[in-house]
Amino acid sequence: MQVKAFGAQSATSPIAPMTIARRAAGPKDVAIKILYCGVCHSDLHTARGEWSGVRFPTVPGHEIIGRVTAVGAAVTRFKEGDTVGVGCMVDSCRKCYSCDDGLEQYCRGPHGFQLTYNGWIDGSGENTYGGYSSAITVDEHFVLKITHKESDLAAAAPLLCAGITTWSPLRHWKAGPGKKVGVVGIGGLGHMGLKLARALGAHVVAFTTSPAKVQDARDLGAHEVVVSRDAAEMAKHAESLDFILNTVAAPHDLDAFIALLKRDGTMTLVGAPATPHPSPSVMGLIFGRKSLAGSGIGGIAETQEMLDFCARHGIVSDVEMITPAEIEAAYGRMLKSDVKYRFVIDMAAL
Ligand code: NAP
Ligand code: ZN
Ligand code: ZN
């Protein structure tokens, strides 16, 4: 099946219309008409070839909301007409210890997990293509149920990456009542981090380089907001945070944040800049038994848990709707930290 898509032919060519092939639904597959797709900074890193191993042409997009158009004979959880989501993964080995634990994003099978875009299709070596397209076919194990109300569907799309990438570490490091949690970088991921940490009951502190975002960060759920370039404001939070979620998409000084952790505190990096951060000071970690960690998206079961939690609590992303023709302009604004707070593409314009 040939479908319309938007993608990049090379690291230096802009996102432009193209045509890609999608498989017909096999026995365990769900065929989906895509309604909305969020724009993640990972899409930009990929389209510009900033991460190693990007294969072109590439069709980004892994915050997909759509409607089921057909299901294979062995599909049990979905039927035609259902509203569904697809996030960052479309397959994994389903046999390794990570897959057994429901953490498919850490699959240790021969090919690891299969990314929704720029992933290897097992056996063929072909590239996978993402959600900047009109349709996608996905194994039902990697399809999520969406129970948000119809008018919230576009704003629910970013939950499929920004939501789960912040939810998974917040849950793993037990953000909740009695915990002081920092969120660094108020973009797509960071604004979801604020909403989710607040909903989980933590005391939430936002750290931003953009003074213009201070009021927004409060409205998004932060109890306190710090402009991180202001050393005096930073010093007020020294040795006070149990957990910091760092979503920044560019290399920066990690020591300034490690200094804000309490004894035994952890800062988890989810931002994945194209070039490394300056190495943090070992002493800053030793004196306080502090941890620096990383976290990748989230497993399918915890993604469903997050989606259901958000539907129950009426949580969605703050979005700016765009057409496919506006993706390049959206990337330009993202590079200037000027997103309020996630772009979502309306695929009706395809
Ligand atoms: P985004 O919307 O562009 O937000 C990033 C935010 O980081 C900006 O809004 C800005 O916030 C801050 N920032 C940007 N440049 C900065 C700089 N030079 N110094 C300090 N702060 C800066 O991006 P996103 O979609 O949230 O993605 C963030 C990162 O996470 C990307 O690298 C992306 O690839 C990665 N990611 C990782 C995973 C994972 O599984 N680990 C999943 C998805 C995305 P302020 O204006 O508030 O400072
Ligand atoms: Zn993403
Ligand atoms: Zn596996």
pLDDT one-digit tens code per residue, 16-57: 999 999 999 999 999 999 999 999 999 999 999 999 999 999
Residue 228 Cα: closest atom of ligand 1: 48
Q: Give the Å distance between the CA of 63 and the centre of ligand 2.
A: 7
Mean pLDDT of 75-87: 98
- Pair 166, 204: CB distance under 8 Å: no
Q: How far apart are the two ends of the chain, measured CA to CA in Å?
A: 16
Kindly compute the dihedral angle of the four CA atoms of residues 146, 216, 342, 273, in this order, to the nearest 10 degrees. Answer: -120
* Phi–psi pair at 105, nearest 5 degrees: -70, -15
Instruction: Give residue 2 CA to ligand 1 midpoint distance, Å.
Output: 34
Is 312 strand, coil or helix? Answer: helix
CA of 95 to the centre of ligand 3 (A): 5
Distances (CA, A) of 88 to 19, 60, 142, 294, 317: 21, 10, 9, 17, 17
What is each CA distance from 242 to 48, 166, 220, 280, 289, in whole angstroms?
A: 36, 16, 20, 18, 12
pLDDT at 222: 98
Confidence at 152, pLDDT banded by 50, 70, 90? very high
Q: Are 62 and 117 in contact (CB under 8 A)?
A: yes
188 lines ligand 1 (CB under 6 A): yes
Least confident span in 30-34, 73-77, 125-129, 223-227: 125-129
Q: What is the pTM of this model?
A: 0.98
Ligand 1 touching residue 189 (CB < 6 A): yes
Kindly give the distance from the C-alpha atom of residue 134 to the centroid of ligand 1, in angstroms, as a whole number: 27
What H or E segment, with its residue span, contains residue 117? Answer: none
259: region left, alpha or beta (phi > 0 left; psi from -120 to 50 alpha): alpha
Query: In 272-285, which positions are buried (b, 16+ CB within 10 angstroms) versus exposed (e)?
Result: ebeeebeebeeebb
| Ligand 1 atom 39 nearest Cα | 296
Ligand 1 in reach of 297 Cβ (< 6 A): yes
Supply φ then ψ for residue 55, to 5 degrees.
-115, 135
Query: pLDDT per residue over 247-266, tens digit each?
Result: 999 999 999 999 999 999 99
The alpha carbons of the chain give a radius of gyration, in whole angstroms, of 20
Residues with CB under 5 A from ligand 3 (ion): 92-93, 96, 99, 107, 109
Q: Ligand 1 in contact with 40 (CB < 6 A)?
A: yes
CA distance 163 to 47: 22
The proportion of the chain whose per-residue pLDDT surpasses 90, expressed as a percent, equals: 96
Task: Tell which atom from ligand 1 comes closest to the C-alpha of 294.
Answer: 41
